[in-house]
Structure 1
Amino acid sequence: MTLQQKFDQIVQQNDWWQAGQRVVVAVSTGVDSMVLLDLLHHLATKSPEVIVAYVDHQLRDQSRQETAFIKDYCQIHQLTLAMTTWPKAQHPGGGIETAARKFRYRFFGQVLDKWHATVLLTAHHGDDLAETMLMKLVRGGQLASLVGIADCRSIANGKLVRPLLDMSKQEIRGYAADQHLTWFEDATNRDLGIERNRIRHQVLPELKRENPHVLRHFREYSQQLTDYLDATDELVGAAVDHAATKSSDQNEMVLNLNQLPTSRQGLSLILAFVIEKRMGIVDVTHGARQQLNNLVLNSALPQATMPLPHGGVVIKSYGKLIIRKKDHQPVIPAEKTQQFMVILDRWYSLQAGGRFGLFHKRPDGRYKVTAMRLTAEQLPAMVRPWHHGDRIALKNGGHQKVHRVLIDAKVPNDRRERVSVLVAATGDVLAVLGIKSRPMINPDAPQLYLVESNQSFLERKGIDNG
């Protein structure tokens, strides 16, 4: 089977577009996109109307030559060309690849809108898929990222289709040579200072030597994982709908806690689905997910708040779990509320004055530091106002009432109501913030550091380690 026949078969089997439908093709003048254009030109059935979208990034000396070439190509083949230039003045000092991609796809979206098209085609192929999956595996992250590159996905103004994923770079180059196509090479593709290039030139060739069918296996794994995730989303979505309570606010979702799974695995799936798929909140780290699970499962904690990226927030309140896309209530920092959960590796300010944080690494500088080894059951830690009856453990094995700690520290009566305690998820008082803290020694637990700074409400009184 020739590459053209293979391409025709793939297009015929998928309902990506209809014959004569207008599609936008992202073209760079590299071999991949020039082959895609040629395959579309010779398509036996479902031949679309092609709009070529091209960006002159002004990143290479040959960009003028490439621009002149694509203009001539489109004129010869009677193709509509939509092009733009990314001025050098707009190039950032760092992260050039990410910035270029954002500029490029923003332009593609504009072309789709201008030409009333709903399909964008790119020339990603099987090697690109394998490289992406390997990069995601090395970097770590969520399971869904291991899909790598989907052959079709929704975008804001239509769908993004990658019809060459079942083809290898070798097949594409072979076709280009056989058809005497013209294309341009990007010299930066040989730069081993770029992660993808190291995977492409050093890692993937070894895997191909180990098994010549490795690209097919990557593709099959990607498709299997996609099917699994789609099925999981369907089941989890039904569970979410069952647990959800109607809300008049489209920016929030309210779940009944008693309708949520009590297992960590099930709860993780539900929360991840709601946060990412329903609310569109991304960049939630693995550590934050674990802390959120602990917050939900901690029955001794009826109320708590946890911030999410991009202005999102999770609020636990007496049997309800509220996930907000953006906290549109009056902005009140978490540390100014009566009670909040402590996210590791960040500073918090306190009403009583000063600041504190729980850190994996001991910060540089002059701070009061208490070493703590806290188990998973003790996290997340919480901050709340102190209560009569609270007791803090001492080094000698005894305990002292927090009320007595305040008396001994000579905290004025009118300031005692502003004092907060740091409490483990198990309910143990870890510190009377700004006054007294206790070392926690759990040999098998990771090392954390309670760091306190500028606790001003005691008027130059020091912090005691009991």
Structure 2
Amino acid sequence: MTYQKILHYVQSQGFFSEHGNVLIAVSGGVDSMNLLHFLHIHQKELGIVIAIAHINHKQRPESDNEEAYLKKWAFDHQVAFYSQSFTGKFSEKTARDFRYAFFKRIMEEQNISALVTAHHAEDQAETVFLRLLRGARLRHLGGMKEVQSFGKGELIRPFLTFDKSQLPSVFHFEDDSNQETTFLRNRIRNTYFPQLKEENPQFSKQLLSLGKETDFLLEAFQQLTANLDCRDCQVFHSQKPAVQYFLLQDYLSQFSDLNLSKAQFEEVLHILRTKDHYNHLLKNGYYITKTKERFTISKISPETDSHENEKMLEYGNIVSFGQYRFSFRDQDSQGIPLFSQSPLLLRHRRPGDRIQLGNYSKKLRRLFIDDKIPPQERQNALIAEQDGEIVAICLSGRTYLRKEFKDGIMKGKLCIQKVKEG
């Protein structure tokens, strides 16, 4: 097959209608070299300007020669060329993460809105099988998308519906490591698929069909439930358990970096079904907050850049910190009794903070959960610390105080006043 059929398909799908500058991920293998030649030949018809991005993985003696060839090809054809050598401990995942971080950086630096990769139908079938093998959820069996968001632009896979056998023969480099059985994807491609195709010659096509049908099913579910506000607890509880299950999955899919495990997902589902009030950290900075009426999941980002990190309050002085004014005075003043005249450190909350409450201490995290303090407000807690111990916590218009478990001689008092806004 010539590139003309692919060109007609790409134009009919409008893959590049919103893009002028595109970055092509080129390894030097037959797939990516086909992609490079295709996009280079048809730049004018597609209305694009191409650039090449290449990662030298430094895993084979030929790697430097391949990079040099691509660099010369780009120079001869007046195409921008960007490359970087892989660093770190090599694995399939680390190499992939390294590549895509590099691609994203180049796109941002060079104002390029699209990354293009050479994934084809056989790659898609392998991806579906790999995810099935690893126990992925149904929604992830749909495989790769032809177009998806990436960085501030899009990742486009124009070959995804075409078989590798349909691509022309072009000059490329052979990577002997593709035959090794060290990596799972190689075993799938070179061992498992050939054996399974002996049982069913259409095995790859059946996997692609499974992925497509999965996409259709999820799309249908989304359309049928589009008018349901799943965060409304009354609406959520009125649904059948199966509908609740997929409603929650749909809601969680918008948080790409949350990545709940199956066990964590089941725990959240149980909370929504059984708890009236709940505030808790999930993972990766995400909190779930639930009342009788509504639940939400949100990411709480540290605001240290917009806060003063800390201040020191000496005996006899007054310091403003956040929305509060702290004064450290003698024992005849009004305020919180202190049993030392050591300076007070005024700071923000830190992981692992504890406060003494008589004959026991409690972590601030547990204290706030027990008192149903919303996650957004917990981040704004201000701490007064003396001699390495927390003596007071200010947040949400309330003050938590250390409770002494033994007698002491009072040496001063801490007065805390909230500063009126405006």
Give matches, 1:374-393, under 5 Å.
none
Q: Contact 1:275–1:281 at 8 Å: present in 2 too? A: no
Percent identity over paired residues: 26
| Shift of residue 260, structure 1, vs aligned partner | 1.3
Which consecutive segments of 4 or more residues in structure 1 shift more than 6 A? 327-331
The partner residue of 2:267 within 291, 313, 334 is: 291
Counterpart position of 2:236 = 260
1:46-76: CA deviations, max 9, x gaps? Answer: 2532111112222221111111110122223
| Shift of residue 325, structure 1, vs aligned partner | 2.0
For structure 2, which runs of at least 5 residues remain unmatched after alignment? Answer: 304-348, 352-363, 373-404, 406-422
2:75 is aligned with what amino acid?
Answer: Q
Distance 1:63 1:289 in 2: 43
Counterpart position of 1:197 = 186
Counterpart position of 2:154 = 159
Distance 1:59 1:218 in 2: 32
The partner residue of 1:333 within 329, 350, 365 is: 365
Distance 1:114 1:315 in 2: 38
1:271-321: CA deviations, max 9, x gaps? Answer: 2222331x44522122222222222222xx433344312122223333332
Q: Contact 1:20–1:46 at 8 Å: present in 2 too? A: no
Counterpart position of 1:429 = none
Q: Contact 2:232–2:293 at 8 Å: present in 1 too? A: yes
1:228-264: CA deviations, max 9, x gaps? Answer: 3234334445312xx5xxxxxxxxxxx3311214422
Counterpart position of 2:24 = 25
Distance 1:197 1:131 in 2: 10
**Pair 1:183–1:82, CA change in 2 (3 A):** same
The total of aligned residue pairs comes to 313
Counterpart position of 1:435 = none
Give matches, 1:26-425, under 5 Å.
26-43=25-42, 45-46=45-46, 48-86=48-86, 90-92=87-89, 96-172=91-167, 175-176=168-169, 181-240=170-229, 255-262=231-238, 263-277=240-254, 279-298=255-274, 301-326=275-300, 332-334=364-366, 337-338=369-370
2:268 is aligned with what amino acid?
Answer: L
CA RMSD of aligned residues (A): 2.9
**Pair 1:200–1:56, CA change in 2 (3 A):** same
**SS state at 1:310 partner:** coil
| Shift of residue 11, structure 1, vs aligned partner | 1.0
Distance 2:19 2:273 in 1: 55
**Pair 1:334–1:138, CA change in 2 (3 A):** farther
1:9-55: CA deviations, max 9, x gaps? Answer: 22122111149932111101111100111222333832532111112
**SS state at 2:227 partner:** helix
1:135 is aligned with what amino acid?
Answer: L
**SS state at 1:238 partner:** coil
1:325-362: CA deviations, max 9, x gaps? Answer: 2387967434874399xxxxxxxxxxxxxxxxxxxxxx
Q: Contact 1:19–1:48 at 8 Å: present in 2 too? A: no
Q: Contact 2:125–2:205 at 8 Å: present in 1 too? A: no
State the TM-score, normalizing by the size of structure 2. 0.67
| Shift of residue 139, structure 1, vs aligned partner | 0.6
Q: Contact 2:15–2:158 at 8 Å: present in 1 too? A: no
1:352-378: CA deviations, max 9, x gaps? Answer: xxxxxxxxxxxxxxxxxxxxxxxxxxx
Distance 1:259 1:163 in 2: 41
**SS state at 1:144 partner:** helix
Q: Contact 1:151–1:161 at 8 Å: present in 2 too? A: yes
Q: Contact 2:280–2:287 at 8 Å: present in 1 too? A: yes
